[in-house]
Every structure is written in structure tokens, then in C-alpha cells.
Amino acid sequence: MIRSERAKTVHVRLEELYPQVPIPLEHQDIYTLLVAVLLSAQCTDKMVNRVTPHLWALADNPFDMAKKSVESIREIIQPCGLSPQKSKAIQGLSKILVDEYQGQVPNSFEKLEALPGVGHKTASVVMSQGFGVAAFPVDTHIHRLAQRWGLTDGSSVVQTERDLKKLFPEASWNRLHLQIIFYGREHCTARGCDGTVCGLCRELYPRRKTAVVTRK
């Protein structure tokens, strides 16, 4: 199979496996989605979903969150890791949203990425899942699987995103990035598959005998 054929097979199989793709991070609106995605950096969605109800009880909108102390935020989000940086970012971006955007989350990559603690992946998730704008956020699962499936050389997350956007129709990006994440968690896991075990790896590379070493 050439790369485009592998991409087509991946798309078809994932549509069969995951016809419904719920957003993994529980949230109430775009602001709470933004904060939840920020918290998910180097943390599982399961842990974020455990922590955020307590955070929303403290403040679930930028107006209230901007008034909370960094320490009170940090105390709640500590289980998510990187709490010193994340608590400052949550308070800081909340103040900016109040001061500059009337409490609304901007629907622009450029403006989102200018907020404290918001990188390109976080902005992509918010644009995709919050605003419905076509984006292809690349997390560790997607970066790993795209390499195992021969869709990118994995030289960087930026390159992986670029390659995937070329291979798949733009209209599929928002669903597909979630489908790949689900597959990476349930079938082609970091330890459970090495490029020779899961169904898709075997279908795409039936003659592959050696493990695939993926770049982080």
C-alpha cells in the first residue's frame, strides 16, 4: 500500500469502529473546555474529568475565576500535575478574557495561542471541539499511531499534523482526530502494540515482523 491507500483504509476502519465520537473532556461551555484542555497537558482525561467538577465549584466562568487566587486554583488542580504553571495560566487567561474579550473565548488560533498556557494543540482542540472549525490536534496517541501506520515520518508533531492534513479530507479532521485517539487508547496502545499487534497495524503492514520505534 502507498501512503494515501493506508490513509483511506484507516479512515474507513475508524468510521466503522467509532461512528459516534464523544468529546472526552467533560465541559459546560467553550470556557470550561479551554480550561479542561489546558489541564490535560501531561495528564489523562480521566483525571481531568475527576478534578474539574471541584474547579467549577470554585469558579466556572472567567469573571469569577479571574478573582480567585492562584493558590486556591492550584490546590484543586494539583492532581493534574504542573499545577504551579497551570494555576497561573488559568487565572491569567481568565483575566485577559474579561479585560479584552468581554469574558468570551476568542475563535481565532492567533488569539487563543496568545493566552497564557495555550499552545497550538490546545488552541486546535478548542477550535475543533468548541467552535467546529476544521483542525487536526496532534496528541501523543495520534503522533504514535501516524508513525506506526506509515502516515508520517514522525520527525516532529508539527510535521505529523501537516502530513495528516494532506492525507485526509478537511471535513473529516474534527471527527478523525478523536477516532484516532480512541483507537490509540483501546487498541494500538503505547505498550500493547508495537506496530505488529493491533488489527489496523496488521492490515496495513501484514508482512511487518519487527517493532516500530516511534519518535516522541
Comparing CA positions, the residue from 16, 7, 1, 2 lying closest to residue 183 is 16
Angle between helices 3-17 and 157-167 (to 10 degrees): 80
Cell reading at 85: 504553571
Give the 3-state secondary structure of 64-109: HHCCCCHHHHHHHHHHHCCHHHHHHHHHHHHHHHHHHHCCCCCCCH
Cell reading at 123: 488552541
The residues annotated as belonging to the active site are 121, 139
Number of H helices, E strands in the chain: 12, 0
Residues 195 and 205: beta-carbon distance below 8 Å:
yes
Q: How far apart are CA 48 and CA 54, in angstroms?
A: 10
Q: How far apart are CA 124 and CA 118, in angstroms?
A: 10
What's the N-to-C CA distance of the chain in angstroms? 25
CA 81 to chain centre: 17
